[in-house]
Amino acid sequence: MDVDKYRNMISEFSGLPLFDEKCSFYYDETGNVRKFRLTENGVNAEEGIANDFILGGVLFKGDTSPCDVDKLFDELKISLQEIKFKTLAGRGADFWSAISKKPIQQYLSWLDSSGLYVHYATLNNMYFSVVDMVDSLFAAQPQFNFGLEWAQALKASLHRFVVTHIEEILPILHSYNYPSLNKDDIKDFCFDLSDLIQSYGDEDFYLENFRQLLKANGRKRELVFIEDNTPGLLVEEYSGLRDGRCAFYKDSMHYFDEEAEAELALKNTIYTLNGQKLSNFKFIDSKKERLIQISDVWVGLLGKLFAELDQSTPEMIMSKMESLTQKQKKCIRIINSLVDRAERLHRGLIQSVNSIEIIQHRGSLLALMDELF
């Protein structure tokens, strides 16, 4: 696919303006379960149900870095060849304990004044795995696709039901070789899932609309996006996020941590520029590139933050904020400030393939934390 055609398509669909400025992106990742698949006992990686895969890091405009990374390493008094999130936060640290550690506080203060921008893209494995059902309904019944917000609401309600009733959902998916349903099984699959939803008497408006559309598709025996795939394979790998970043920010250079499978996938990119495969990326040994190490700490911190937010209520956050030190609160302010600064540069730098409910929940709690600083 021509990269400009792809960029224009994304821009028209999402409302994102095109971004043609040349930047240098550095990446690391967390939450990579490699292949996320169904098994007889559920899934191969239970942590992949709730936790996101996060690809992200830092960037700067042009080719010349504005920051002095060596200064940070000198302040940290670390003689190791490579730093990671766990180096600064300690093994097993949650978000609250991480921001209580002096090295994390030093890291965030440095990052805040470094002149770098942050960026990230997250993908929730379970959300990604089930929303093709909704898209399949709309493919067969386009008259019931009332726009982006409607689709997001249906997908969010479906995802919430799936996660809430995961022990009942996974056996159904596995028994039908999801996401590769046979034509002859589509009707039974749709009605089995519909019956399960109905059995809980959920009064969710969007979930009920999904259920009715599902039954109609069952009668048609059509679920186009969950046919003819690899049985049981929910997420094959995460090259789509890497590919998409390189394509949308085509005029930039993208530096990833060395990983053979990821490198092979990007070299086989579907995107072309002037008839040639897109090649605006390099894979570098993180031990030789400190900005990739900086990216490791950033995505590691985000992973812990999102895990905390996802299990918190506003009341829990307000209570916790009362117990934090000023230095811990400053860490939260810096994180919010860095994300805001990135979105001012370009909204696409902060990307979430996730339920709109979860995205909004995280955003509202982060805003609350900022208000309580």
Both 168 and 30 in one domain: the answer is: no
> How many domains is the chain partitioned into structurally?
2
Q: Are 336 and 364 in contact (CB under 8 A)?
A: no
Instruction: Tell me the average pLDDT across 23-40.
Output: 94
Per the listing, tokens 């003819």 go with: 228
Residue that terminates a domain, selected from 183, 200, 233: 233
Look at residue 31 in the predicted model and tell me its pLDDT: 92
Flag whether 320 is in a domain: no
Both 100 and 54 in one domain: the answer is: yes
Both 107 and 32 in one domain: the answer is: yes
pLDDT > 80? residue 79: no
pLDDT confidence band for 262 (50 / 70 / 90): confident
Sign of CA dihedral 72, 351, 228, 270: negative
Instruction: Tell me the average pLDDT across 338-356.
Output: 96
Flag whether 203 is in a domain: yes
Per the listing, tokens 């550690």 go with: 101
Range of the domain at 224: 127-233
Tokens representing 114?
A: 């470094």
Look at residue 370 in the predicted model and tell me its pLDDT: 86
CATH number at 43 reads 3.30.420
The one-letter amino acid at 327: K
Look at residue 102 in the predicted model and tell me its pLDDT: 96
Look at residue 238 in the predicted model and tell me its pLDDT: 87
Tokens representing 81?
A: 């060849």
Look at residue 145 in the predicted model and tell me its pLDDT: 85
- Pairing assessment for the beta strands 42-43 and 253-257 based on DSSP bridges: unpaired
Flag whether 107 is in a domain: yes
Q: Are 17 and 346 in contact (CB under 8 A)?
A: yes
pLDDT > 80? residue 44: yes
Both 110 and 181 in one domain: the answer is: no
Flag whether 316 is in a domain: no
Instruction: Please tell me the pTM assigned to this model.
Output: 0.93
The one-letter amino acid at 361: H
Tell me the C-alpha distance between 218 and 224, whole Å: 12
Flag whether 162 is in a domain: yes
Residue 288, burial from CB neighbour count under 10 angstroms (0-12, 13-18, 19+): exposed
Better-predicted residue by pLDDT, 74 or 158: 158
Sign of CA dihedral 244, 246, 251, 255: positive
Both 93 and 57 in one domain: the answer is: yes
Both 345 and 293 in one domain: the answer is: yes
Both 61 and 154 in one domain: the answer is: no
- Pairing assessment for the beta strands 272-273 and 117-124 based on DSSP bridges: unpaired
Both 280 and 337 in one domain: the answer is: yes
Look at residue 18 in the predicted model and tell me its pLDDT: 94
Instruction: Tell me the average pLDDT across 88-109.
Output: 95
Both 197 and 264 in one domain: the answer is: no
Flag whether 300 is in a domain: yes
Q: Could you tell me the end-to-end alpha-carbon distance of the chain, in angstroms, rounded to an integer? A: 47
Radius of gyration of the chain (CA): 22
